[in-house]
Structure 1
Amino acid sequence: MLTIRPATRGDLAALDALLARSYPRLLKADYPPSVLVTALPLISRANPALLGTGTYFVAEDATGTLLGAGGWTRGRPAPGQARQRRGNVRHVVTDDRTLRQGIGRAIMERTFDSARAAGATCLHCLSTRTAQPFYAALGFTPLGETEISLAPGIGFPAIAMLKELTPGGAFPGRSRKTMT
């Protein structure tokens, strides 16, 4: 049984371990070693500010093992949008040993529901090259390549993507699955 719940500060160590184990394996095929050697130490750590926000979620199995995480926060407005109407997808990860089992999709469904309930009308995402097909399957549209500034002199190539949230909508062409 998979449980999706809001993250707490108590999840920090398990989330750090998940990110440190999964990101190097997941990103290896799509990024050169020269990028990964500088980026991985910075992106493979949980952001404590996200934990306890109520909009960042973890997925765990019946034993309490973390299998994934992700969520959203309010974002800067795009031109012509009110501040409170746009959200940003934040630090999504799935255990590399449990890919294609619906864990990432379940986390994102919870994220969409949470964002809609808070009045967001769209979600912006800075996707890795690896995750772009995943986000596209969830209805995100690519806006173009970008670079995330991780630290002075350290950039990480990404793809900016956007998803319009429809009231009560789930995923294109799919029925909603119930997750606890």
Structure 2
Amino acid sequence: MRGYIIRNARQTDIPAIRAMQARSMWVLGGDFYEAGALASFLTEFGTMDDAIVDEGHFFVVENDRGAILGSGGWSRYRPGYANGLGVGGQTADGPTVRSVFVDPAAARRGIASAIMLRIERDAAEHEIQTLHLTATLSGVALYEHLGYRTEEATAVCLSNQTQFACVRMAKRIPKLREQAA
């Protein structure tokens, strides 16, 4: 990842983060979801809860010009979309990976993998044993490649009676000494 840094997100980053995340949903998610489902999900739930930035475990990938090319983190807070998960679809109790996005112009350059590794290392530093996530369909292959296992396919029920398909996944996080070995 030459020319990029990963740093903690700041409240002042939120507008740029949200703009990048929306582009990512529309472009990278467009191969997996109909435009109406994307629009409804973004309107009802957005791409992130601002409170996770203050928690201190949310990161951005920034290029040498200061442009935000990726985001993601983990949180102990229940995600805003959790109430919309359908029958059998509930978020697991415990730390959850949240709002992992890459700007479409920077996709397929290892940014998502790098931010996930940073998230996992931060979680290990805080003695988290398992990370959970609810993946969009466009993210499932990445998470599988990184060792996350599928717990269940589910969907977020939107107020217009459509469903936004997603997959609940989890991964055991090695302790720091295991990661170094």
- TM-score, normalisation: structure 1: 0.81
Q: CA deviation at 1:38?
A: 1.2
RMSD, aligned α-carbons: 2.2
Structure 2 equivalent of residue 111 of structure 1: 119
Structure 2 equivalent of residue 26 of structure 1: 28
Q: CA deviation at 1:17?
A: 1.2
Unaligned runs of 5+ in 1: 77-82, 176-180
For each residue in 1:122-155, what CA deviation from the matched residue of structure 2 results, as whole angstroms up to 9, or x when unmatched?
1101001111000001100011211235668564
* Letter aligned with residue 58 of structure 2: Y
Give percent identity, aligned residues only: 30
Which of residues 20, 26, 39 is equivalent to 2:41? Answer: 39
* Letter aligned with residue 124 of structure 1: H
- Residues 52 and 77 in structure 2, CA contact (< 8 A), matched pair in contact too: no
- What does 1:1-180 correspond to in 2, within 5 Å? 1-74=3-76, 86-149=94-157, 153=161, 155-168=163-176, 169=178
For each residue in 1:90-134, what CA deviation from the matched residue of structure 2 results, as whole angstroms up to 9, or x when unmatched?
011001111111111111111001111111101101001111000
Structure 1 stretches of 4+ moved >6 Å: none
SS in structure 1 of the partner of residue 53 of structure 2? coil
Unaligned runs of 5+ in 2: 79-92
State the alpha-carbon separation in 1 of the partners of residues 99 and 157 from structure 2: 15
Q: CA deviation at 1:59?
A: 0.6
State the alpha-carbon separation in 1 of the partners of residues 112 and 7 from structure 2: 13
- Residues 158 and 164 in structure 2, CA contact (< 8 A), matched pair in contact too: yes
- TM-score, normalisation: structure 2: 0.81
Q: What is the total number of aligned residue pairs between the two structures?
A: 163
State the alpha-carbon separation in 1 of the partners of residues 4 and 12 from structure 2: 19
State the alpha-carbon separation in 1 of the partners of residues 5 and 50 from structure 2: 21
Please state which structure has a larger fraction of its residues in helix: 2
